[in-house]
Amino acid sequence: MRTRTSRSVVIGVDSSTQSTKAVAVDTATGELLAVGRAPHTVTGEGGARESDPEEWWTALTTAVRAAVRDAGVPAAAVTGIAVAGQQHGLVTLGADGRPLRPALLWNDTRSAPQASALAAGLGGLSGPKSWLERTGSVPVASMTAAKWQWLREHEPALAAAVTGVRLPHDYLTERLTGHAVTDPGDASGTGWYGKGGGSGSGDAYDPEILDLLALDPALLPAVAPSGATRVGTLTAAAAEALGLPRTVVVAAGTGDNMAAAVGLGLGGAGLLDHPVVSLGTSGTVFAATRTRPADPGLAGFAATDGTYLPLGCTLNCTLAVDRFAALLGLDREDAVPGGGAGVVVLPYLDGERTPDLPHAAGLVTGLRHTTDPRAILGAAYEGAAFTVLRALDGLLAACGLDLTDSAVRDRPLRLIGGGARGRTWTDTVRRLSGRPLIVPAAEELVALGAAALAGGAVTGEDPVALARGWGTGAGELLPPLARSTETWDRIAGVLTAASPGLLR
């Protein structure tokens, strides 16, 4: 391979639930030079979902080395790096700076009782309202505050020994630089970051919430002004592990959803221009806004630049559908064209976050002797897509938009994530939404967003503007299909009827 000696290259890292991806990007042009990958292991039964943070670090070094090697650039060409990580995970550090136990992941639902108790425990009966006003979100099982509370109740001796509390991306950034730092975007998913205790002084760790959690603020990382803030350079150990110079600039980084928004070129834009649907292990819907809607069904996240990224999240998306395919002995693309043929699947295999049904199990109804297994798989797609699109409708309504207005309903959705590459997924979203879709050509938007943050730290440019210049959000426009209101109404009816049972 020809060595590219004249390039300045930045590395963007996406440390997700299942794997790490690292992209090597030409800082000036945005050309994707190479992608390195390494898997993660997730363990746990029932509601437990855990991973060893040390494995994330090993995966990061493996993926970065592979990306630099395959890019054909000398190590000296790499000028910056940033990490985007799965949100909400709880990493607990001991006195030696290493994890005391496996991290509790975002999709670990054991902390559902703690989330409910916390929601009621701030401001008495007005607890949920107080949480919305302070943090933009009401605690659910996925959020870090609930996981910390679970740890205190179930492993009190370990909680007492903790000397540092980190999010996944914080932990990896600290391994790179030796500095404990986070950013506004990922911090906004903890449950303890918001309006500075109501002081009106801007977003910060909320002392009243930290008191409620018995969490010493000294255990938390500093909050950089944005994910593109330069927070240091590589330590000697990190440089050796990565095979890179110590002069490589490290940006603060952010959470995966915030990085995806940067990769799409979103930041402070109008909501109507950019509703995003992400189909991955989880399904997410989000948009860049200048104000944060107060809706208990949404996460009122900050964007990495301190504007807002209201988001709805479902736990069961591509992984749940793939599980149905495996149970039926089918390939994921074997679903009957056009859907479930009267079958309804609510694929809540891990409980569910939106709607908030943490103890729910999957449900299949409408079976006949003549039911084709491929129709059941089609119904699993429909159930997962319905749940995600229903969350999108909730987000748009919370932002004051009229869902009956054609100007709202006809706006294209930006479809990202692994599911956006699947024909059945795109067809199902088009049928249930009746909307056109823009499917960006870039496949690693989270990692590309992280690369733009690294580029911003190196050059001083706005990372969103940098990503727009790179064109990472551009892609194919798929025309709408006629909206299947019959399918939508059938799934909605089953969900309404089943919800009391699913809650048990």
The CA–CA distances, whole Å, from 408 to 353, 438, 488 equal 25, 15, 18
Residues in the chain: 504
Asked whether the beta carbons of 148 and 213 are under 8 A apart, the reply is yes
Dihedral, 282, 287, 289, 293 alpha carbons, nearest 10: -50
Residue 154, annotated ligand binder?
no
Token pair listed for 241: 């592990």
Q: How far from 498 is each of 116, 345, 381, 502, CA to CA, in Å?
A: 21, 11, 19, 6
Contact 372, 299 (CB under 8 A): no
Instruction: Please tell me which residue in 14, 108, 170, 256 is annotated as part of the active site.
Output: 256
Q: Hey, what amino acid is at 391?
A: A
CB 263 within 8 A of CB 442: yes
Measured distance CA(340)–CA(319) in Å, rounded: 18
Two tokens, residue 253:
């980084």
Confirm or deny that 149 is annotated as ligand binding. no
Establish whether 256 is a catalytic residue. yes
Nearest to 25 by CA among 461, 487, 451: 451
Phi, psi torsion values for 265, nearest 5 degrees: 80, 25
Residues annotated in a binding site for substrate: 87-88
Active-site amino acid positions: 256
Residues annotated in a binding site: 87-88
